[in-house]
Amino acid sequence: MYTRIVRWIDDRLMVSPLWRDMADHPVPAHVNPSEKVSAFVYCFGGVTFLLIIAQFVTGMFLAMYYVPDIINSYNSTKYIMHHVLFGLQLLSMHNWGSSLIIIMVTLHMLRIYWMGVYKKPRELNWIVGVTLLLLILGFGFTGYLLPWDEKAYFATQVGVSFTKYVPFVGPALLKILSGGSKIGAATLTRFFAIHVLFLPAMLIAFLGLHFLMIRRQGITGPY
């Protein structure tokens, strides 16, 4: 049955070679933790990617209940925690996952740094990587406001205030980032839009670039 379906699709689109190219791509021994345990450092990027997939999934389901509005967001978050089946677990996975991603991406970046593999010819991938890091931090910053509790409110107040110190355009930037002259209704909708629409779109694009470059250049080593 399975082979027949695959053959039916391949007759029309020939996707098997694309899949085989990824699935049969050999993992070099020096990158394979089952050959050499210390190679686990090469997994940090992949683990980050897996966690990102988990964030996408849990986030999509949270959005079935969450309302990005100053009157309802706190209550809808509480509703998820107390009345949705496994809602607390869903929210906790998204919450803990965000911290784990930041830890893993930092470890990944440290591996890149310590092994010095940002050097030629991988400078562009380092730049894409730094962009990914900023996007990940952007997710954390915008997501933190969404429950609209006191901690979220004041943490965001402190966070957006940094932009005040940008020369010349600081005050305008502060207003643009917070959607008005204070943290309020427009900040929440703005942060929500950034968190669930703008950042995911950019993250997918830059992850694509990151992986294309890795495939193109191959993994570094062994040394």
Q: Which residues bind other proteins (CB under 8 A)?
A: 69-71, 154, 157-158, 161-162, 164, 172-176, 178-182, 184-186
- 135: tokens are 């996007």
Q: Considering all CA atoms of the chain, what is the largest pairwise distance in Å, rounded to the nearest integer?
A: 66
Least Cα distance to 115 among 48, 42, 47 occurs for: 42
> Does 193 participate in binding ligand HEM (rule CB under 6 A)?
no
The least distance separating other proteins from the CB of residue 63, rounded to whole angstroms, comes to: 21
Comparison of 133 and 173: residue with beta carbon closer to other proteins: 173
> Does 105 participate in binding ligand HEM (rule CB under 6 A)?
yes
Comparison of 16 and 181: residue with beta carbon closer to other proteins: 181
Q: Locate tokens 């470059």: which residue?
A: 213
> Does 45 participate in binding ligand HEM (rule CB under 6 A)?
yes
Could you give phi then psi for residue 67, rounded to 5 degrees? -120, 120
Piece of the chain touching ligand HEM by CB under 6 A; list 59-67, 116-124, 167-175, 176-184 = 116-124
Candidates 108, 139, 141, 195; binder of ligand HEM (CB under 6 A) is 108
Comparison of 42 and 66: residue with beta carbon closer to ligand HEM: 42
Cα 139 to Cα 50: distance, rounded to the nearest angstrom: 16
Q: Count Cβ atoms within 10 A of the Cβ of residue 196 and give its class: 0-12 exposed, 13-18 middle, 19 or more buried.
A: buried
Least Cα distance to 152 among 195, 205, 208 occurs for: 195
Contact assessment for residue 219 and residue 42, using Cβ atoms and an 8 Å cutoff: yes
Least Cα distance to 62 among 44, 38, 78 occurs for: 78
Piece of the chain touching ligand HEM by CB under 6 A; list 32-40, 48-56, 61-69, 138-146 = 48-56
Comparison of 85 and 158: residue with beta carbon closer to other proteins: 158
- Which stretches of the chain bind ligand HEM, using CB under 6 A? 42, 44-46, 48-49, 52, 105, 108-109, 111-112, 117-118, 122, 125-126, 129-130, 132-133, 136, 207, 210, 214, 219-220
